[in-house]
Structure 1
Amino acid sequence: MQFVILCKDKPDGLDLRMATRQVHLDYLKDVGGANLLGAGPFLDDQDRPTGSMLIVEFPSEAEARSFAQNDPYAKAGLFVDVEIRRWRWGVKPPAA
């Protein structure tokens, strides 16, 4: 089952985001593995990150939630809001 994880950074969170970025990327690579279908930041009008969107595939929402909660960004307190929504890739899915 696919999920989209939508994360909104807390105000003035850019320094925390940048300080935690490498361990976050390592987590996505190492722990996300085949479960991570795509990810990237939301940007403001000056191209500064303001949040994140991840597309993941897990057997259950509980597993997707656990993955989101264990993200180093989440553990560092970067996010003011995290939403997890069940999702289906409808158009132009990545090649299998």
Structure 2
Amino acid sequence: MTTIDAMEYFFWCRDRPGTLDLRWKLAEEHWSFMDAYASRMIARGPTLTADRSAPTGSVHIVDLPDAAAARRFAFEEPNYRAGVYRDVLIRRFENRSGRTMWQFPGTDEEGRFLLLGHARPGSAPPRDLDDERVIVQGPLFAEDGSAWLGTAVLAEAPDLLDASLYAAVEAHPWQFGGRR
């Protein structure tokens, strides 16, 4: 059984089709909500369509005190309350990069991705990626931290996860978020 001491959480909120106008309308309310968590934020930003022309969801990695605070963060967020999101994935996270996205020295803004590796039942987390294109990376755990469920990586490359180590791997265009 694996346990982790950090209380970092990974959130991926996927948009409901047809809510783009509502998302833009709520932008300031969303940013103001996120401002309250600025000192705890490890990474944030939208996932995007393949051509990067529109958002498809939002990723947030945040250090929070406990699972109840994580649920409040997810379900009190303005886009969620207004119905922009069709679903929300919440996982405990362990920031193995030891930095925030703002500390990442890279510059490839058009080539950033959210990579998700879904764990095979009974498998263990693979070694961390040693690649200069990794922005933030870490294993994803069950709410109580006891079971490894996969890996999340924000990176300047879509193909850093070895698909043979996971039940499935997803790559989604992503960009740094925040006020524009």
- Structure 2 matches for 1:1-96, cutoff 5 A? 1-29=7-35, 31-47=36-52, 48-91=54-97, 93-94=99-100
SS of residue in 1 equivalent to 2:18:
coil
User: What are structure 2's unaligned runs of at least 5 residues?
Assistant: 1-6, 104-180
Unaligned runs of 5+ in 1: none
**Cα shift at 1:92:** 5.1
Structure showing greater radius of gyration is 2
Q: Distance in 2 between matches of 1:92 and 1:34?
A: 15
What is the TM-score normalised by the length of structure 1? 0.89
Cα distance change on mapping 1:74 and 1:61 into 2, 3 Å = same
Aligned partners of 2:74 and 2:51: how far apart in 1? 27
Q: 2:42–2:99: 8 Å Cα contact kept in structure 1?
A: no
Aligned-residue identity in percent: 34
RMSD of equivalent CA atoms: 1.3
RCO higher in structure (CA 8 A, sep ≥6): 1
User: Which whole-Å CA distance do the structure 2 matches of 1:79 and 1:45 have between them?
Assistant: 19
Aligned residues: 94
Normalized per residue, the structure richer in helix is 1
Letter in 2 for 1:73: N
- The CA distance in 1 between the partners of 2:97 and 2:65, in whole Å, is 22
Q: Deviations over 1:44-89 (max 9, x none)?
A: 0232001000011112111011011111111111110001100011
TM-superposed CA distance for 1:26, in Å, is 1.1
